Amino acid sequence: MKFIVLISLLSMTLLSNELLVKDSDVEIMVNKKKYNLKVSEKLSLNQADVICFVSGKGRIVINGKKQLQKRSKRCYQVPLPQGSGIKKYIKKAKNMASVAFLDSSENVKKGVSTRGFKPYNKKEDLLLKKDATLLVLHSKTIDFSSKVVFLKDMRNKSNEIFETDENSKNSIAINRSLIRSAYTIEIKDKKGKLVFSKRVFKEEDI
């Protein structure tokens, strides 16, 4: 029921998002769930959904502009509303999303070592509330557009999870299904320069 309510809230903040399959059949993943889609088939999307191309000779077009195909190496995230729209989004989704306001660039770039386990520190770490479906990162000092998001485990092994949209300037979100407690969220530019690094914990794990 909470998931249905969240979808309803998100749809109120932005025009509907969808993908269209072109040229041939494809297999994709949306938030780790697999879909086998026929050519010309459409699939509705929600803000912050992460889409990965798995296989097939076709391609998918997201919101009429972003394309993924067999050669696409990165997954893509449907952007959140930006500017004044993000305030409405946060207000309406406050019970379904944990929001981290990141206004200090010095604090944001500090980063925390993940060698060995260290308990949750509310002054340094991010918290995903028990009932939240999304972790929203919002900053006035960081440009999140066209960045690559990684999740680094406690052995310092990083796994790339998605690329942000070119319009995701001040806000992005990470789905609960992609998050593991005590792992570090890292955001880098396409040259590999670190822009953001913080550990994240799920409330039920602390």
- Structural domain including 193 reads 84-205
Burial tier of 51 (Cβ tally within 10 Å: 0-12, 13-18, 19+): buried
The mean pLDDT of 15-35, rounded to a whole number, is 93
| Distance from the Cα of residue 131 to its chain's centroid | 17
Total of domains in the chain: 2
The mean pLDDT of 156-178, rounded to a whole number, is 90
Same domain, 188 and 96: yes
% of the chain exceeding 70 in pLDDT: 83
**pLDDT confidence tier of residue 115, bands split at 50, 70 and 90:** low
Same domain, 43 and 63: yes
Same domain, 124 and 63: no
- pLDDT tens per residue across span 70-114: 999 899 999 988 776 777 777 776 667 788 888 654 445 444 444
Same domain, 71 and 88: no
